[in-house]
């Protein structure tokens, strides 16, 4: 059987890094790890190809070559998914759909021939067995959670790693916390499940064998969900592996804010090569934290927690939300002040979104406040529920935040705030050809023709004189700022969000 795996195109968004990728000559930020893993579950006799639409488009000859097209996607890729499914139906090609988008809303995709939902380790084998017997059903679901010992090594040979800015691997699934707006616990549960250290080492070996050097994203929902196992087994293993291979990788991941309470864990992560963590901070307003069930963020000094993580040698990327029922009119200024004072350079601020499967979605449905399905892009002006705050106030305040943190002057000021706090990682930053290309491209686009050129050269000189070992990071953050500003300007320039009359 000829099988084509298709990863649909992302729209331009905060996490696409589309405007930054041209500085390093890459086509996409991360490869489709889920599809690479699914491919490893296929029969060995199948001829398998993968096309990531974020790298190149899918042609009709690509589709007609295949006996079956597998599509996996998240909510933000909905529009591209519909296009692929419609083209396959027109060409008479059988489609198999899976991933978070289809798992949370299977009834929305009648055009898909087969739906293999939930975790592939549980639902794909029964589908493949039925397919071999000629009696494949339309929908496959499973109760319970997958044993990650069953998760195979991703098939990296299906793509060209040179197209991507970073690689990604997964160690665990699930999160011990249950925030009202988050769908992770619905998809993967609250009890963290992990791979063995042998599995993880094999994945590192596979990337190293393919010649990869650079960033590797641990896509775990909350990397520190099982911190005892991390400290006892995984991190010491990664430290030894890195030292034995010349430290080819730098890692980044997602974590809850209580990482700041565990100095030993932070120290081990830094020694293992972790340089960044994404933390869901959401809001400096305590009532908003209580409303959303963000218990791990309550009763703590959030600003000091961020500083502790930075001082340990980990850059904090932060997620922030406006639109909680309890948000006061002053929330927008409070968010700007917190972000600037914390030195969180990569601050993703979005309006609250009610995703299917979340407790928030259920509550708003019961209150009759839902308007439509979420777009999946939480940094777009696209409310899908009726907020308590007047709609115009919320939208104007959101735009105020974007301008207040991503205009060149406040952004570069925040970079300096961070660099003053941050500890240089062990071994410093190792330059590679992509870094050198980014450096020279940044001088042209940011230092010569960019509107931020004054701030760029000010940071350039400051970092060379005051923090020379962090100079490569300073240039990287300047490039990130270019992307964030482009996205922020696009959001701010967009018209009133659709359905505003219904909200009012």
Task: List 385's β-bridge partners, or say none.
Answer: 370
- Residue 274 — left, alpha, or beta (φ > 0 → left; ψ -120 to 50 → alpha)? beta
Give residue-wise pLDDT tens across range 158-197.
Answer: 999 999 999 999 999 999 999 999 988 888 888 999 999 9
What does the buried/exposed string (b/e) look like for 109-126 if buried means 16 or more CB atoms within 10 Å of the residue's CB? beebbbbbbbbbbbbbee
* Structural contact between residues 232 and 223, judged by C-beta atoms closer than 8 angstroms: no
> Whole-angstrom Cα distance, residue 51 to residue 225?
33
- Name the token pair of 59: 């042609």
CA 38, distance to chain mean position in Å, is 19
Q: In 2-151, where do the E strands start and end?
A: 2-7, 47-52, 68-72, 94-98, 114-116, 139-140
Place of tokens 């659709």: 498
CA distances from residue 240 to 109, 272, 400 in whole angstroms, order as listed: 47, 8, 47
Place of tokens 């196992």: 229
**Of all residues in the chain, what percent are helix, strand and coil, respectively (each to 5)?**
50, 15, 35
- For 310-313, which contacts have Cβ atoms below 8 Å and span 24 or more sequence positions? 310/343, 310/418, 310/421, 310/422, 310/423, 311/421, 311/422, 311/423, 312/263, 312/266, 312/267, 312/270, 312/423, 313/266, 313/270, 313/275, 313/422, 313/423, 313/424, 313/425
3-state secondary structure of 194: strand
* Structural contact between residues 228 and 192, judged by C-beta atoms closer than 8 angstroms: no
> Whole-angstrom Cα distance, residue 485 to residue 402?
8
In the prediction, which pLDDT does 204 show?
98
Place of tokens 């896509």: 219
Do the bridges between strand 193-194 and strand 172-173 make them parallel or antiparallel, or are there none, so unpaired?
A: antiparallel
User: Directed axis angle between helix 263-272 and helix 235-244, to 10°?
Assistant: 30
3-state secondary structure of 4: strand
> Rounded to 10 degrees, what is the CA torsion of 395, 399, 401, 404?
-160
* Structural contact between residues 175 and 38, judged by C-beta atoms closer than 8 angstroms: no
In the prediction, which pLDDT does 503 show?
41
CA 207, distance to chain mean position in Å, is 20
Run of H or E including 280: strand 274-282
- Residue 184 — left, alpha, or beta (φ > 0 → left; ψ -120 to 50 → alpha)? alpha
Give residue-wise pLDDT tens across range 270-312.
Answer: 999 999 999 999 999 999 999 999 999 999 999 999 999 999 9
What angle is formed at CA 107 by the lines to CA 366 and CA 66, rounded to 5 degrees?
Answer: 150
pTM: 0.92
Tens digit of pLDDT per residue, the chain (504 long)?
999 999 999 887 777 788 888 888 899 999 999 999 999 999 999 999 999 999 999 999 999 999 999 999 998 899 999 999 999 999 999 999 999 999 999 999 999 999 999 999 999 999 999 999 999 999 999 999 999 999 999 999 999 999 999 999 999 999 999 999 998 888 888 899 999 999 999 999 999 999 999 999 999 999 999 999 999 999 999 999 999 999 999 999 999 999 999 999 999 999 999 999 999 999 999 999 999 999 999 999 999 999 999 999 999 999 999 999 999 999 999 999 999 999 999 999 999 999 888 999 999 999 999 998 877 676 677 789 999 999 999 999 999 999 999 999 999 999 999 999 998 776 655 556 667 788 889 999 999 988 899 999 999 999 999 999 899 999 999 999 999 998 888 877 664 344 443 443
CA 397, distance to chain mean position in Å, is 25
> Whole-angstrom Cα distance, residue 71 to residue 60?
15
In 3D space, the residue among 204, 210, 207 whose CA is nearest the CA of residue 171 turns out to be 204
- For 282-287, which contacts have Cβ atoms below 8 Å and span 24 or more sequence positions? 282/179, 282/319, 282/320, 282/321, 283/320, 283/321, 283/322, 283/324, 283/327, 283/331, 283/335, 284/334, 284/335, 284/337, 284/338, 285/324, 285/326, 285/327, 285/328, 285/331, 285/334, 287/324, 287/326
CA distances from residue 301 to 224, 324, 423 in whole angstroms, order as listed: 20, 20, 21
> Whole-angstrom Cα distance, residue 215 to residue 425?
14
> Whole-angstrom Cα distance, residue 118 to residue 221?
16
């Amino acid at each position: 059987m000829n099988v084509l795996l298709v990863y649909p195109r992302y729209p331009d968004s905060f996490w696409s890094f589309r405007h930054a990728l041209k500085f390093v000559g890459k086509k996409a930020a991360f490869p489709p790890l889920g599809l690479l893993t699914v491919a490893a579950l296929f029969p060995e006799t199948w001829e398998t190809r993968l096309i990531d639409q974020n790298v190149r488009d899918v042609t009709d000859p690509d589709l007609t070559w295949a006996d079956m097209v597998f599509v996996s996607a998240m909510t933000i890729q909905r529009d591209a998914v519909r296009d692929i499914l419609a083209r396959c139906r027109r060409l008479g090609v059988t489609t198999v759909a899976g991933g978070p988008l289809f798992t949370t809303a299977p009834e929305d995709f009648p055009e898909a021939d087969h739906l293999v939902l939930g975790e592939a380790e549980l639902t794909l084998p029964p589908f493949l067995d039925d397919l071999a017997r000629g009696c494949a059903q339309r929908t496959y679901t499973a109760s319970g959670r997958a044993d990650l010992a069953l998760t195979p090594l991703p098939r990296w040979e299906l793509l060209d790693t040179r197209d991507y800015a970073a690689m990604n691997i997964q160690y665990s699934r699930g999160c011990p916390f249950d925030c009202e707006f988050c769908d992770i616990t619905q998809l993967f549960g609250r009890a963290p499940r992990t791979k063995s250290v042998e599995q993880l080492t094999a994945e590192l070996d596979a990337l190293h064998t393919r010649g990869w050097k650079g960033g590797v994203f641990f896509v775990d929902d909350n990397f520190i969900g099982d911190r005892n196992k991390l400290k006892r087994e995984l991190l010491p293993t990664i430290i030894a592996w890195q030292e034995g291979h010349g430290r080819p990788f730098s890692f980044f991941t997602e974590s809850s804010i209580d990482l700041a309470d565990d100095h030993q864990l932070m120290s081990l992560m830094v020694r293992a090569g972790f340089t960044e963590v994404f933390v869901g901070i959401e809001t400096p307003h305590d009532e908003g934290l209580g409303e959303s069930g963000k218990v791990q963020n309550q009763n703590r000094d959030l600003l000091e927690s961020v500083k502790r993580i930075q001082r340990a040698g980990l850059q904090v990327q932060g997620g922030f939300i406006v639109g909680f029922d309890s948000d006061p009119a002053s929330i927008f200024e409070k968010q700007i002040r917190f972000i600037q004072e914390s030195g969180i350079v990569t601050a993703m601020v979005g309006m609250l979104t009610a995703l299917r499967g979340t407790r928030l979605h259920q509550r708003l449905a019961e209150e009759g406040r839902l308007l439509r399905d979420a777009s999946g892009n939480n940094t777009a002006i696209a409310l899908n529920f009726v907020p308590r705050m007047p709609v115009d106030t919320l939208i104007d305040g959101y735009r105020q935040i974007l301008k207040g943190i991503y205009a060149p002057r406040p952004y570069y000021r925040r970079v300096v705030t961070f660099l003053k706090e941050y500890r240089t990682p062990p071994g410093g930053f190792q330059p590679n050809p992509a870094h050198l290309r980014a450096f020279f491209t940044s001088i042209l686009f940011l230092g010569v023709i960019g509107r931020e050129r004054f701030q760029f050269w000010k940071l350039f000189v400051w970092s060379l004189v005051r923090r020379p070992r962090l100079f490569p990071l300073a240039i990287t953050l300047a490039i990130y700022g270019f992307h964030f500003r482009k996205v922020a300007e696009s959001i701010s320039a967009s018209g009133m969000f659709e359905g505003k009359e219904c909200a009012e």
